[in-house]
């Protein structure tokens, strides 16, 4: 009896110790939509599709696997397009709104989705001869170029302001040694906020302190205006925000927005008090921590 108990204990430990390998990273923010999902940490969109044989009940009849795989991919592409359409651009719009307003953008996104790559390591062959296929599209890059607001423009390099000759020693010292933060972490873990491609951060007076007007399109397209995490410690150590990020607590969402946040006036001043800070905002070196 004891041997059986020991055997099951070993199996239990083995299975649960190995489980994290197959699960999503704890810090990832994954939003599910139908047969697809959006990973706001990694910046990817995935969907799954199933291809079935014409006579699924006859397991004794050989099936054309290549044809079934094509059907699975077509189904996955269909589901991926539906998932892409549900991606939030900002507090007012999803990608689906662009489909309605701009036929050219819609066609380009459809072509992009059709060309998405299959994640072959996740492909599954079922006992009834059906095939499960997973496809993935990047949230950044080509898709971001098409859907990000046009107000996100290329920003020229930001120069440091040198102290004026004749200014006081105190002023000079303050100008010479500003706190050199390397990125921004917004801790919104206590706020009910939804991720978006182009979120905005406001101070308590309703003044925008981060958003499309602060980000340079080059960085916003390639890396996203921010990434979302569920772990504050992981966010602090993320290479995106460098070695000394400014950590700011979000107070609430902005007015009726589900995607935009409000920070205190004091923290807003810290964020905008130097060219160094404006530089990392331009480069979109921002992580927003939310609870999922």
The whole-model pTM stands at 0.82
pLDDT at site 292? 75
pLDDT at site 256? 94
190 Cβ contact partners less than 8 Å away, ≥ 6 residues apart = 250, 291
Identify each DSSP E strand in the chain by its residue range.
30-33, 36-39, 44-51, 117-118, 124-125, 131-138, 184-187, 201-202, 208-210, 227-229, 246-249, 252-253, 261-262, 286-289
Per-residue tokens: 86: 């549900």
pLDDT at site 191? 97
pLDDT at site 63? 57
Element (H, E) at 176: helix 169-176
Angle at 37 between CA 33 and CA 42, to 5 degrees: 145
pLDDT at site 7? 45
pLDDT at site 103? 94
CA distances from 47 to 37, 38, 78, 220, 276 (A): 6, 9, 9, 24, 40
CA distances from 286 to 154, 157, 221, 232 (A): 18, 18, 14, 12
pLDDT at site 13? 40
Angle at 211 between CA 205 and CA 216, to 5 degrees: 145
pLDDT at site 56? 56
pLDDT tens digits for the chain (292 residues)?
455 554 444 444 443 343 333 345 668 899 999 899 999 999 999 999 999 987 655 555 445 788 999 999 999 999 999 999 999 999 999 999 999 989 999 999 999 999 999 999 999 999 888 999 999 999 999 999 999 999 999 877 644 433 434 433 334 334 455 568 999 999 999 999 999 999 999 999 999 999 999 999 999 999 999 999 999 999 999 999 999 999 999 999 999 999 999 999 999 999 988 767 889 999 999 999 998 7
pLDDT at site 80? 98
pLDDT at site 174? 45
pLDDT at site 155? 79
Query: Any idea what DSSP says for residue 90?
Result: S
pLDDT at site 57? 54
């Amino acid at each position: 009896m004891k041997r059986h108990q020991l055997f099951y204990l070993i199996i239990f430990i083995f299975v649960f110790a190995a489980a994290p390998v197959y699960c999503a990273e704890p810090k990832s923010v994954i939003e599910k939509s139908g047969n697809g999902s959006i990973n706001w940490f990694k910046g990817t969109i995935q969907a799954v599709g199933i291809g079935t044989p014409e006579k699924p009940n006859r397991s004794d009849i050989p099936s054309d696997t290549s044809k079934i795989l094509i059907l699975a991919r077509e189904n996955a592409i269909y589901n991926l397009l539906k998932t892409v359409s549900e991606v939030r651009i900002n507090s007012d719009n999803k990608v689906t709104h662009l489909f309605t307003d701009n036929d050219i953008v819609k066609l380009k996104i459809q072509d992009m989705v059709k060309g998405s790559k299959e994640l072959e390591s996740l492909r599954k062959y079922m006992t009834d001869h059906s095939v499960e296929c997973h496809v993935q599209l990047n949230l950044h890059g080509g898709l971001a170029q098409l859907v990000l607001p046009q107000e996100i423009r290329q920003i020229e390099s930001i120069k440091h302001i040198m102290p004026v000759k004749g200014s006081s020693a105190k002023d000079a010292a303050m100008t010479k040694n500003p706190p050199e933060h390397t990125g921004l972490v917004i801790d919104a873990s206590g706020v009910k906020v939804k991720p978006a491609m182009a979120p905005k951060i406001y101070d308590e007076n309703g003044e925008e302190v981060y958003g499309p007007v602060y980000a340079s399109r080059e960085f916003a397209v390639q890396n996203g205006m921010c990434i979302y995490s569920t772990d504050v410690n992981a966010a602090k150590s993320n290479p995106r925000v460098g070695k000394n990020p400014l950590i700011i607590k979000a107070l609430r969402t902005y007015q009726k927005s589900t995607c935009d946040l409000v920070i205190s006036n004091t923290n807003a001043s810290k964020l905008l008090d130097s060219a160094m800070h404006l530089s990392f905002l331009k480069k979109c070196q921002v992580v927003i921590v939310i609870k999922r």
